[in-house]
Chain A
Amino acid sequence: MIEIKDLKKSYGTFEALKGIDFFIGEGQIYALLGSNGAGKTTLIKILTGLLQPSSGIAKIDGRSARHNKKIRGRFGYMPEHPDLYEKLTGREFLHLMGSLKDVEEDTLSTKIESLSIDLEINDHLNKEMGGYSKGMMQKILFINAVINDPPNLILDEPTNSLDPRFSQDIKSRIKELASRGKCILMSTHITPVAEDVADKVGIIEKGCLVAEGTVNELKRETGSDNLEQVFIEVVNHAQKDP
């Protein structure tokens, strides 16, 4: 489970996060929506320990992200930008990451094989990743995030560079993982993706959580037909009334 309480992050006088609160329980998918630069990635980086918060609490399974060592291994992370080690093959990268996440050698090889076949990337696994397309790297990153079967998943724009077929595939995998009790935080600005998979949606704007609820609750509250309209409505309102 993931718990965020009054989380703040400042860079000098600029406040990137102004006190965010939310909770994600086991088996829940939480979609974090926001405009570009709203603070989604900053929040995710704090949660993964890549950034330190200015104040507030970010916890994974009850352990503070400030002490990153204790929570590593309890989450799988997929970053926003699919940049990977150019001079390693996909197989070498996954093997390295899996081994360092304490996955047994036999299990690791089988997992890499089966996931890469499912995501149709097995033909490229022995090629250096410098020649991969963004979509291919995105698939490698997804495999890396789930390879040790962590109880929590933090996915930053997981379907960004994928074609509709694989985007659909990833969405159904995310749902399947949640049905197995995984706690999933997903950031995206593609509203249909959030509408399809999320149990709960949080909209973040200028560092504040300006709306939160299930998709149906948000639609009802704003009188909108779909999540895209909800998002536009909420963000416009937040910008007019800061």
Chain B
Amino acid sequence: MTLWFILLMFGGFWLILSMIEFLAGLDELLLNPSQGNVLFSIFFFFVAKSSAETIEGVLRDKAQKYYFSTPLNSSSIFYSKLLRVWFYNLLLFGIAMSIVSFVVRIWDIKLPIDGRFLILLYILMFLAPLVGFNISVISHVKDRWLKKINLVVAGQMITLTAIILHSGLSFFHQVGYATLMLVSSLIIAVFLNATLYEEVWTNTSQNTESSTLHRRGLKLPNFISESTRLIAEVEFKRRWRRRQVPASIAVVIMMGIGLISIYSSLGPRPDLGLGLGKYFYPSLIAMTAFLAAVIHTLIPSLNLFSRDGVRLWCIRTLPSEMKKIASGKGLAIILTSPIIILMIALPLPLILDYPLSFVVFSAFSSSVFIFVMSGIGLWAAAKFPNFNESTKGSPDIITMYSMIMLAMMLSVMFLSVPFTLIEVDQILAILGVILAADLSALFMILMFKRSSIILENMELDF
């Protein structure tokens, strides 16, 4: 599996870099983004990533009580955690750059970047984890005013980065200002956050909030069996309170907005110079819907059982059928998945005034992605559980990547027939895609059942 993963990873890098090389040769405005846009996107991604890592892996890490009970002062603990997030992100970036260098060298790919781009990229990669870390720490200070002032200061780092990268300043000025921001962020971390860290960790890790603050839940219809309904409601509530549901919905909405903004930049029928203009938006919608289903359905499903970890005895000792319990867990994920259809599969075809047959095709294709990924997700959750508490049950990257590939292959398999029919007979294509959705729903139910059998026989030796 590891070898397979390495092959896939190099193949993936080759594919992306080749696409960049190809797109760089085209004249379309959006397909040739400025270096500033590219740099800012990478910077922003790493800020968000390190911010999430800081909250999940540092601030909510209860095991730090052992450090705080030693004579170590809290600043030392803070620095160790800061360096962990910082170095981990730099390591990841370093690995990615090594693979890029290797692929570029071997396949002689011409990328539209220069030395200046790389220098700025490296400075931003030192800055991004620091900014993400600072924002997460500051946003968990208890004092409301201190939190607001600090957040404004830390948040300015993102705004200032955007200004520097888009202002048309000379390269040397850009490097100078970016370095200045790196130093400022370090000062914020060392002189402010280090002193607040113990308080912030206590506030975050010792959760004593009353649930009356966020009672959000949902009531499912009674035709669903009671065990499934109860498990789904509670699972949804837990995911909501961990803010996983709102965050995931927000990402899908952003993706939908992104699609519309591409349309508003490129117009109704962008031509890539290959006479393939009419396929541009359908392909884009399909790719976005697939990606949204991966983020919103597949990845959250993968840790449905392992996140429970030592608490799995609760469901394993219940008199209810395991199939109903597993289905309840899966249902909690599927419940919000129609957002993918609403935000990605439907708006653009409607705006573009595509024929009704295409709109229906688009909606049902997205539901195929959702059903396939829910099924694979729940099966893999039982088959490859990761009970390591420090990872919060998330599967390792190899499993995750393999499941994404499996989902892609199965989706293609389900949709290949209706897709080939669309050029021949639209009515038949619609019937075909409805059948594909039906079959993928059946596949999902079978996978739920398979998952419950694995769960039933799982040895819970921890």
Contacts and interface: CB of A to CB of B under 8 A. Distances in A.
Interface of A: 42, 45, 48-52, 68-69, 72-73, 75, 77, 79, 81, 83-89, 92, 96-97, 99-102, 126-128, 130-131
B461 A100 contact: no
Interface in B191-238: 206-212, 226-227, 230-231, 234, 237-238
Nearest to B206: A131
A99 B234 CA distance: 12
Nearest to A125: B211
Given A68-B456, A128-B211, A131-B208, A87 B319 contact: no
A90 B319 CA distance: 20
Which of B227, B230, B241, B319 gathers most chain A CB within 10 Å?
A: B319
23 contacts: A45-B461, A50-B460, A52-B459, A69-B321, A69-B322, A75-B317, A79-B313, A85-B238, A88-B237, A88-B238, A89-B211, A92-B234, A97-B314, A99-B226, A100-B230, A101-B318, A101-B319, A126-B210, A127-B211, A128-B207, A128-B208, A128-B241, A131-B208
A86 B62 CA distance: 12
Contact of A51 (B212, B231, B456, B460): B460
Nearest to B322: A69
Given A99-B226, A126-B211, A131-B209, A52 B457 contact: yes
Interface in B345-386: none
Contact of A131 (B207, B234, B456, B460): B207
Contact of B230 (A84, A99, A131): A99
Contacts of A100: 227, 230-231, 318-320
Given A50-B460, A79-B313, A128-B211, 15 more contacts: A68-B316, A68-B456, A72-B317, A73-B318, A83-B310, A85-B238, A87-B241, A96-B231, A97-B318, A101-B319, A102-B319, A126-B211, A127-B210, A130-B208, A131-B207
Given A45-B460, A49-B317, A50-B316, A87 B238 contact: yes
Contacts of A49: 316-317
Contact of B310 (A42, A51, A81, A89): A81
B333 to A, nearest CB: 16
A128 B209 contact: yes
B458 to A, nearest CB: 9
A52 to B, nearest CB: 7
Interface residues of B, number: 34
Contacts of A89: 211
B265 to A, nearest CB: 41
A114 B460 CA distance: 32
A126 B215 CA distance: 10
B311 interface: yes
A126 B212 contact: yes
Interface of B: 206-212, 226-227, 230-231, 234, 237-238, 241-242, 308-311, 313-314, 316-322, 456-457, 459-461
Contact of B311 (A45, A75, A84, A127): A84
Contacts of A73: 318-319
Contacts of A85: 234, 238, 308, 311, 314
A130 B207 contact: yes
A46 to B, nearest CB: 10
A86 B237 contact: no
A81 B207 CA distance: 19
B311 A72 contact: no
Contacts of B311: 83-85
Contacts of A102: 319
Nearest to A154: B317
B202 to A, nearest CB: 12
A82 to B, nearest CB: 10
A79 B212 CA distance: 29
Contact of A86 (B207, B230, B316, B320): B207
A50 B234 CA distance: 22
Contacts of A96: 230-231, 234
A83 B309 CA distance: 9
B353 to A, nearest CB: 45
Contacts of A81: 310
Contacts of A42: 461
Contacts of B309: 83
A51 B227 contact: no
* Most B C-beta atoms less than 10 A away, residue of A77, A84, A85: A85
A211 B31 CA distance: 78
Nearest to A9: B461
B317 A77 contact: yes
A96 B237 CA distance: 12
Nearest to B316: A50
Contacts of B237: 87-88, 92
A236 B311 CA distance: 35
Nearest to A48: B317
Contacts of B456: 68-69
A72 B208 contact: no
A7 B208 CA distance: 43
A183 to B, nearest CB: 16
Contacts of B314: 84-85, 97
Q: In the complex, which of the residues A50, A84, A127 has the most CB atoms of chain B within 10 Å of its own CB atom?
A: A50
A68 B314 CA distance: 14
Of B237, B309, B456, most A-chain CB atoms within 10 Å: B237
A87 B320 CA distance: 22
A100 B314 CA distance: 10
A50 B458 CA distance: 8
B234 A51 contact: no
A85 B311 CA distance: 7
A50 B318 contact: no
Contact of B317 (A50, A86, A99): A50
A124 to B, nearest CB: 10
A84 B316 CA distance: 14
Contact of A48 (B207, B313, B461): B313
A84 to B, nearest CB: 6
Q: In the complex, which of the residues A84, A87, A88 has the most CB atoms of chain B within 10 Å of its own CB atom?
A: A87
A72 B319 contact: yes
A209 B314 CA distance: 28
Nearest to B207: A130
- Chain A CB count within 10 A is highest, among B317, B318, B456, B461, for B317
